[in-house]
Structure 1
Amino acid sequence: MMLPQMEELLPPSAVEFEVGWRDAGGEHRLPLPEASEVEFEAGLPVRGFPSYRGQRHFPGLYWSATTGGHVGFESWLERDHVMLLDFTPEVTGLLSQPFWLFWENERGKQVSHAPDYFARFEDGRGLVVDCRPLDRIDTRTAVKFAATRAACASAGWGYRVVGEVDAVRMANVRWLAGYRHPRHGVAEGMVERLLALFSVSSPLVGQAALAGDPITVLPVVFHLLWQGRLGADLSRMLTDTTLVSRVEGRR
């Protein structure tokens, strides 16, 4: 089945959106223009993830280094994308199922959609994310995504519909995520020494060995790669000889 182009699915400009969200103070609902400055990343998910015998997807909780708490996911795909958001140094806040978006369709029927994630960037920008394999977006879903895109544009937020991630890049990010906890970056003097050693692009293991026992040093290197203070080409599988270098401007 051929789906319409996303632009063809956009609701008319006269559509009025409302947003419903939760926080420690309870439940709230406002017209979108009045809620565009809400810190959704500091709120609570508007719905939970059911778990039942025989279900075909895999819900769970991901511990986020960005928030210092758990962020929910409903599938491996969502887990991968919340991990990628957590891996993005510029992201400062993150919440799953951040709000309900409400609007009326052309027949006057109320429609609702809860996007998968809301991310806040260090410059104040908001980003709304929906995760879905691109070959599983049917017409009904495409209409909801198009309406969400229009609502986000009117609120000044970015919007992405994301599918499968490059397998090699994702494997690398999953590996680095094993070293995302701050405990890997507290070795006294080690961080500064490694940043100095990798001021020139150098092979990962060989250069790290100059700072001491690799068993002790490599977790710190991987933590710095996770933080974005060290950089490498993650489109290729990480190996002993992967070239790693300091990323200027990252603290």
Structure 2
Amino acid sequence: MKAEVCFRRQDGRVEARPRESVAALSLQSATPWRTFRWYSGRKHYSGTYGSATVRDHVIHESRLELARLLFADLDPSVRGIVAQPFLLKAEVEGTVRKHIPDYPLTCEGRPVVVDVKPRDRLSKPVVASTFAWTRQAVESRGWRYEVWSEPPSAEPDNVRFLAGDRRDWLFSPELLQELRRFPLDGVALKDVARCVPGRAKERVRAAIHHLLWKDELRVDPTRPLGPATVLWGPA
């Protein structure tokens, strides 16, 4: 399959390169190929998300895209997140096709190109065809391709809650070190503050949420977080 990647530099200059010659890092400085469309009655929820991974804002065009950003921010293997930085053009069965993937992620190992779509729309012929040739173009470049739909209901709620404590520069390194020294396996969230006497409960609780975000502690992701949630050490 012959394919081309078009991306826009910070100065507005557009570059078009054969798929094989595009490096993932070159896309990190690209600007979004398209921006928000605002109009009355718009059904999608657009906005910007303050990513702790890139320490910058990343745009999203729906709540489902926002959920994928939260999960990318939570993933310690993700090093970079860019929104819609390129237009992919490919010749498919004699016809030129175009598609703008949602999020290329720079990860440990191979980059991941992500498209976000509600599960009930995946079977639509146009969507299925677009994702099929996009997968072929991306994977033949040596990158990974992912179509992401709604996760189990409790997971995005938990991630959305923990995201409030995602910024590591807001936490006392001393408090985090104290918590790392305590054996917290099997301890319920409501009892954690007792393990660190002399510290404000609110600060201890927020620090525990941050360690959960950083995957230094674990809980059952399929169950809603609550006072009785039991903590476990990293896998």
TM-score by length of 2: 0.92
5 Å-filtered alignment, 1:140-155, equals 140-155=126-141
Q: Which amino acid aligns with 1:64?
A: S
Match of 2:20 among 33, 42, 47: 33
**Aligned residue number for residue 167 of structure 2:** 181
**Aligned residue number for residue 226 of structure 1:** 213
> Any idea what the Cα deviations from partners look like across 1:12-68, whole Å, max 9, x if unmatched?
xxx201001123353211110111454323422111121111111111111100010
Identity of paired residues, percent? 33
**Aligned residue number for residue 191 of structure 2:** 206
Q: CA deviation at 1:239?
A: 1.6
CA distance in 2, matches of 1:208, 1:76: 34
158-167 or 39-48, larger mean C-alpha shift: 39-48
**Aligned residue number for residue 81 of structure 1:** 68
Q: Which amino acid aligns with 2:168?
A: P
CA distance in 1, matches of 2:151, 2:143: 23
Runs of 4+ in 1 over 6 A off after TM superposition: none
Determine helix, strand or coil for the equivalent of 1:189: helix
Determine helix, strand or coil for the equivalent of 1:200: coil
User: Does the 8 Å CA contact 1:95/1:118 hold for their aligned counterparts?
Assistant: yes
**Aligned residue number for residue 232 of structure 2:** 245
Q: Which amino acid aligns with 2:63?
A: W
CA distance in 2, matches of 1:39, 1:243: 43
User: Does the 8 Å CA contact 1:198/1:207 hold for their aligned counterparts?
Assistant: no
Q: Which amino acid aligns with 2:119?
A: L
Determine helix, strand or coil for the equivalent of 2:232: strand
Measured on the aligned residues, the alpha-carbon RMSD in Å equals 1.7
CA distance in 2, matches of 1:231, 1:23: 40
Match of 1:194 among 171, 179, 185: 179
Q: 1:43 to 1:201 in 2, by over 3 A?
A: farther
**Aligned residue number for residue 95 of structure 1:** 82
5 Å-filtered alignment, 1:60-139, equals 60-106=47-93, 108-121=94-107, 123-137=108-122, 138-139=124-125
Give 5+ residue unaligned stretches, structure 1. 1-14
TM-score by length of 1: 0.86
Determine helix, strand or coil for the equivalent of 2:231: strand
CA distance in 2, matches of 1:165, 1:149: 21
Q: CA deviation at 1:159?
A: 0.8
Match of 1:164 among 150, 155, 161: 150
> Any idea what the Cα deviations from partners look like across 1:81-136, whole Å, max 9, x if unmatched?
11111111110100110211001232x33211000111011x24200111111211
Determine helix, strand or coil for the equivalent of 1:149: helix
CA distance in 1, matches of 2:24, 2:30: 13
Q: 1:17 to 1:188 in 2, by over 3 A?
A: closer
Give 5+ residue unaligned stretches, structure 2. none
CA distance in 1, matches of 2:159, 2:24: 31
User: Does the 8 Å CA contact 1:195/1:246 hold for their aligned counterparts?
Assistant: no
Q: How many residues align?
A: 231
User: Does the 8 Å CA contact 2:10/2:29 hold for their aligned counterparts?
Assistant: no
User: Does the 8 Å CA contact 2:54/2:80 hold for their aligned counterparts?
Assistant: yes
172-181 or 34-43, larger mean C-alpha shift: 34-43
CA distance in 2, matches of 1:56, 1:46: 21
CA distance in 1, matches of 2:28, 2:194: 40
